[in-house]
Structure 1
Amino acid sequence: MLKRKKVKPITLGDVTIIDDSKLRKAITAASLGNAMEWFDFGVYGFVAYALGKVFFPDANPSVQMIAALGTFSVPFLIRPLGGLFFGMLGDKYGRQKILSITIIIMSISTFCIGLIPSYATIGIWAPILLLLCKMAQGFSVGGEYTGASIFVAEYSPDRKRGFMGSWLDFGSIAGFVLGAGLVVLISTIVGENNFLEWGWRLPFFLALPLGIIGLYLRHALEETPAFQQHVEKMEQGDRQGLQDGPKVSFKEIATKHWRSLLVCVGMVISTNVTYYMLLTYMPSYLSHNLHYSEDHGVLIIIAIMVGMLFVQPIIGMLSDRFGRRPFILVGSVLLFLCAIPAFIMINSDVVALIFAGLLLLAVILNCFIGVMASSLPAMFPTHIRYSALASAFNISVLVAGLTPTLAAWLVEYTQDLMMPAYYLMVIAVIGLMTGITMKETANQPLKGATPAASDIQEAKEILREHHDNIEHKIEDIDAEIEALQEKRTRLVDQHPRINE
């Protein structure tokens, strides 16, 4: 007979009380790095037409735009490598150290884009150097978003993880707004000719001081409570061993956690394709395909993003109350039903309808990004969280990152301005399947971590709910045992020898 292992009951002392000041610092530092990542994406998306002329001057305007957006997409091939590399280091040495490294690489590579001479000056080396800088960005970003989302999730109380996590993508949108706004401001001040000559470089130079600020904030942070608990367990003789870190291969992760990996892939693809379609591709779509004024198109997108900033934390807060799954499901259904109407409005050549179509897509996008940062880290246990999430996330982003290039090519090849809408409808189906299959994680402790609360009163409530949940599970098991016992009695009654 197997000896039953004694399980220690969870007490009030096992509930982690999160320090508010540390939580605010963690969110600020993580969000700033994420803002810088998307600052570059915003700048790059809004100056794609200029980069096409500077680095691919011999091509026609359509090929210039596709080539510039292609340079945006190619670094996504590097992201999975960065994810694997930084993911393993993050699970071994901690989240804080890796996030300090990624923000250094990201800020320097973005700054260097502004230093690259034009094609007219150094020929083919200009686009090659641009590609190398973008690849360095891709490698660092491979560990950036996942590390930042894990950092915030592991620092957040269980009941506020959705609200706290939503500020990470608030940083993304804010970075986009800053990047796009800076492009408009500089273009307006220096004029179009000077902007093409040298003005496009200025936004990229801003990445260096932003990176220095982000590094300072991240370096001053302590490691997350969840990772500290993990280290303490290893120091107490956990089988993983502290010296070499967790020895978990990606094959083992894929075998044991394949369902979580698939849900992660589905969520990232549905979220990021919508993100890149709206915020990276649409400026070029408005100016190149609809011949809409570049300045007016950019201003509309900026106004949409400012509106998204207000909606983002509201979605996160509501997800703590109603769950993450409802927002994925509602967002997917709305994306499928509204993609065509949205693009009909965008193609109407009426400013109010263009704004309405973009706003509709933005609200749908908020449903996804409002819950992504809190949902993804909850899918994996602490000792593999960074490795598993970084791998799955960046493989998914590899697909999503092709969106601007593929959308531009599809429109050019088919001459059908509705192709982006059809593209989004396919993605909506993926999102719907993801929402159906994912498990609800709102208000629950992270896997492999003890419950976390904002204060002692909340800790007592969590502990009481935990014990009530155990009682309900025991009652369910008792009911199942009683039903099985009745079934056994009926079977025994049908057998003459057993019945004797």
Structure 2
Amino acid sequence: MSESSRMQRPALPKVSRRLRADDCIVVDKKELRRAQIGAGIGNFIEWYDIGVYGYLAVTMTAVFTEGMDQSMGLLVTLFGFAVSFIVRPLGGMILGPLGDKIGRRKVMFFTIALMAGATTLIGLLPTAGQVGLWVIVPLYLLKMLQGFSTGGEYSGAATYVAEFSPDDRRGFMTSLLNSGSMLGFAAGAAVVAATSVITTSAWGENAMLAGGWRIPFLVALPLGIVAISLRSKIPESPTFEAAREAAEVGEVHPMFVRHNLPNIFRHYWPQILIGCALIAADGTSGYMLTSYMPTYLEAEIGSPAVHTAVAAVVVLVLQAVLIPVIANWSDKIGRRPIYMIATIGNLVLLVPAFALMHVGTMWSLYLSLFMVALPSAFFLAMTGAVMSELFPTASRYGGMGVTHNLSISIFGGTTPLVSQILVNTTGNHFAPAYYIMFFSVIALCATFKLRETASRPLLGSVPVVRTREEALALAKGQDENELLDTSTMLLAPVPARAPETSS
């Protein structure tokens, strides 16, 4: 970071900042487990809704745009995705700084209630046949509420889990959020498929149009109740509490100041640029797999929809298993090597994967999807940890909310649309692969500017450990430990001793 972009620090007296064992936060295993589940269920519900809406798109077109041209109606329905992404950055910009002010737990409680409520209400909307095409308006409004809540949900959950996790397990712990996301998407697709089979068997071929489509959305209500119950029992992040207590007694210098949105951009623009570059590659790679591949395989390859859906669920479940394995690896070898594997993996595997899709067999379908999913798993394994590690505790929720949501909305959410436009305008069936590879090159360049953060305390935080013995060992060996930098920690200053003189 250049001198002009650094926060100006006031002159401080000559003091030494020594880490004591009592300064370290020793995580309670039971509370950590409760925090992990309480935070993770929000991502599950978020992606459950994306899966349900995506796999019901054709049915919802008939339900909400009855009387409209079918091709136009499909665009109107799919625009529901776009409106949710339009307001997602707004959610991050408002809810992120709010979470830095009042706490992670309170904002996460709000986001899960809003998300589950909006999804449930979609299942209660009247149809166009009942009230006319104006029903699209409340549908879009509810999708906007979902997008707003999502803008604060993932960044809040990742911040919360990162601050709750032992430093040497932070990659693994935060990666479980994205594993939950993949399982949520797979669950949404599975619930739609199961609902379709059951309702049509019981009430005939038109059962989904007659009301069966509502069931997957209404399932969000019990899921939401469970999530709210779990989140009502989770404690506040210990790192946030420690930072707030220190601020109240005046132990603050500029790194530990809670910044508003303009100052987040002013002080942390280098981190924001690095984060946006990484998330652009992460998002385009991920949304290519989850949101565009079904359309591409059906429209360009002619793969039957049922084969595509089953293959997508299988690959997503496999990816959900791989993500924490890769993240655990990153805790040992570092974040930067994992990002390099992810970016180079896209550059090497995507073109062969798209070529393999055109073989048109079942084995080529599964193998090609796995080749697309593998680099994406490496990206997703890093998202929660690295985005949390870019910013200090006082402004972490706000910084991550801005960075993640801006990039994922501009680049990730537009991937299906841009990919299809590229195919249509160029006539090149490999164009989507080249599009993802472009962002992977940018992310690879950003990786060289990324500070290595694996197993290090979060900026603005004291070390988080699993046992008292670990805390004692850190305090004893702090002078030789390259992973510790006490200047980034909230520690009580100890006056430096005057040098001894001979008598």
| TM-score normalised over the length of structure 2 | 0.88
Alignment of 1:98-113 (within 5 A): 98-113=107-122
- The residue that corresponds to 2:413 in the other structure is 401
The correspondence of residues 246-285 of structure 1 with structure 2, limited to 5 A, is: 248-285=259-296
Deviations 1:320-362 (A, max 9, x none): 0011111111111111222111111223211110110101111
Contact 1:227-1:382 at 8 Å conserved across structures: yes
Q: Which has the higher helix share?
A: 1
The alpha-carbon deviation at position 456 of structure 1 amounts to 2.0
- Choose 324-333 or 281-290, whichever is displaced more: 281-290
Q: Give the Cα separation in 2 of the matches to 1:472 and 1:33.
A: 33
Q: What are the residue-to-residue correspondences of 1:100-499 with 2, within 5 Å?
A: 100-191=109-200, 193-238=206-251, 248-399=259-410, 400-469=412-481
Structure 2 residue runs without a partner (length 5+)? 1-10, 486-503
How many Å apart are 1:239 and its aligned residue? 5.5
The residue type equivalent to 1:143 in the other structure is G
The 2-side partners of 1:17 and 1:136 are apart by 37
| Residues 45, 281 of structure 1: 8 Å contact kept | no
User: C-alpha distance in 2, partners of 1:410/1:461?
Assistant: 56
CA distance in 1, matches of 2:247, 2:434: 50
Distance 2:362 2:459 in 1: 48
Determine helix, strand or coil for the equivalent of 1:429: helix
Q: Secondary structure at the match of 2:448?
A: helix
8 Å Cα contact 1:184-1:295 kept in structure 2 = no
When structure 1 is superposed on structure 2, of 314-323 and 453-462 the one drifting more is 453-462
Q: What's the CA shift for 1:464? A: 4.5
Secondary structure of 1:253's match?
Answer: helix
Distance 1:190 1:83 in 2: 39
The 5 A counterparts of 1:2-21 are 4-21=13-30
Secondary structure (helix, strand or coil) at the match of 2:125 reads coil
1:167 and 1:355 mapped to 2: Cα distance? 24
Measured after TM superposition, the shift of residue 196 of structure 1 is 3.4
Number of residues paired by the alignment? 469
After TM superposition, the structure 1 stretch with the greater mean CA deviation from structure 2, 70-79 or 195-204, is 195-204
Distance in structure 2 (CA, Å) of the matches to 1:34 and 1:283 = 22
Mapped to 2, the partners of 1:120 and 1:228 lie a distance apart of: 53
1:469 deviation in Å?
A: 3.2
Q: Is the 8 A contact 1:240 1:247 kept in 2?
A: no
Identity among equivalent pairs (%): 35
CA distance in 2, matches of 1:465, 1:412: 61
Give CA deviations for 1:206-262 in whole Å, capped at 9, x if unaligned. Answer: 111111111111111111111010111122124599xxx965233322222111111
Contact kept, 8 Å, 1:66 with 1:409, in 2: the verdict is no
- Amino acid across the alignment from 2:49: D
SS of the residue aligned with 2:481? helix
2:360 is paired with a residue of what secondary structure? coil
Does the CA-based 8 Å contact 2:112-2:149 persist in structure 1?
A: yes
Tell which deviates more after alignment, 343-352 or 45-54. 45-54
Query: Which protein has the larger Cα radius of gyration, Structure 1 or Structure 2?
Result: 1
Query: Which whole-Å CA distance do the structure 1 matches of 2:295 and 2:211 have between them?
Result: 20
The question of whether the paired residues in 1 share the 8 Å contact of 2:285 and 2:376 is answered with yes
Tell me if the contact between 1:66 and 1:405 (Cα under 8 Å) persists in the aligned partners: no
Displacement of 1:92 in angstroms is: 0.7
Bigger shift: residues 280-289 or 10-19: 280-289
Q: Which position in structure 1 is the counterpart of 2:491?
A: none
Counterpart of 1:145, as a letter, is Y
Q: 2:88 aligns with which of 79, 84, 91?
A: 79
> Deviation digits for residues 138-194 of structure 1, max 9, x if unmatched?
111110000000000000000010111111111111111111111111122223532
Q: Compute the displacement of 1:289 (Å).
A: 3.6
- What whole-Å deviation, never above 9, does each CA across 1:456-475 have from its counterpart, x for those lacking one? 232234334532036999xx
Could you tell me how far 1:44 is from its partner in structure 2?
1.6
Task: Go from structure 1 to structure 2 and tell me whether the alpha carbon gap of 1:79 and 1:472 turns closer, same or farther (over 3 Å shift).
Answer: closer
Pairwise CA RMSD of aligned residues?
Answer: 2.2
The alpha carbon displacement at 1:274 in A equals: 1.3
Aligned to 1:493: none
The one-letter amino acid paired with 1:376 is M
Contact 1:45–1:283 (CA under 8 A) maintained in structure 2: no
TM-score relative to the length of structure 1? 0.89
CA distance in 1, matches of 2:296, 2:262: 41
Deviation at 1:293, TM superposition (A): 1.9
Alpha-carbon distance between aligned partners in 2 of 1:93 and 1:267, rounded to the nearest angstrom: 29
* 2:448 counterpart letter in structure 1: I
Letter in 1 for 2:359: S
Matches within 5 A, 1:38-57: 38-57=47-66
CA distance in 2 between partners of 1:170 and 1:228 (Å) = 28
Output the CA distance in 2 between the equivalents of 1:81 and 1:336. 33
